[in-house]
C-alpha cells in the first residue's frame, strides 16, 4: 500500500535531480533512491 508514496517520492526526487544534477547522475540517484525505499 506504500507504492503510491514510494512512487511519489521517486518522481519528486527525479524532478529535483534533473534540476540539480546531470542526467546520468540523476538516473543513478533515482536508482539509489529506489534501493533505499525498498
Q: How many domains does the chain have?
A: 1
- Residue 21 has a pLDDT of 54
Cell of 36: 533505499
Instruction: Please say whether the beta carbons of 15 and 3 come within 8 A.
Output: no
CA dist., res. 3 & res. 13, Å (int): 15
The string of pLDDT tens digits covering residues 1-38 is 445 555 566 667 666 666 655 677 777 888 888 888 77
CB 33 within 8 A of CB 10: yes
pLDDT, residue 26, reads: 73
Where in the sequence is the domain holding 30, given as residue range(s)? 3-37
C-alpha cell at 26: 540523476
**Per-residue confidence (pLDDT) for residue 1, from 0 to 100:** 40
**Grid cell of 7 as nine digits:** 512512487
Amino acid at each position: 500500500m506504500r507504492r503510491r508514496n514510494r512512487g511519489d517520492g521517486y518522481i519528486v526526487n527525479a524532478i529535483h535531480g534533473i534540476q540539480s544534477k546531470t542526467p546520468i547522475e540523476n538516473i543513478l540517484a533515482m536508482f539509489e533512491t529506489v534501493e533505499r525505499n525498498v
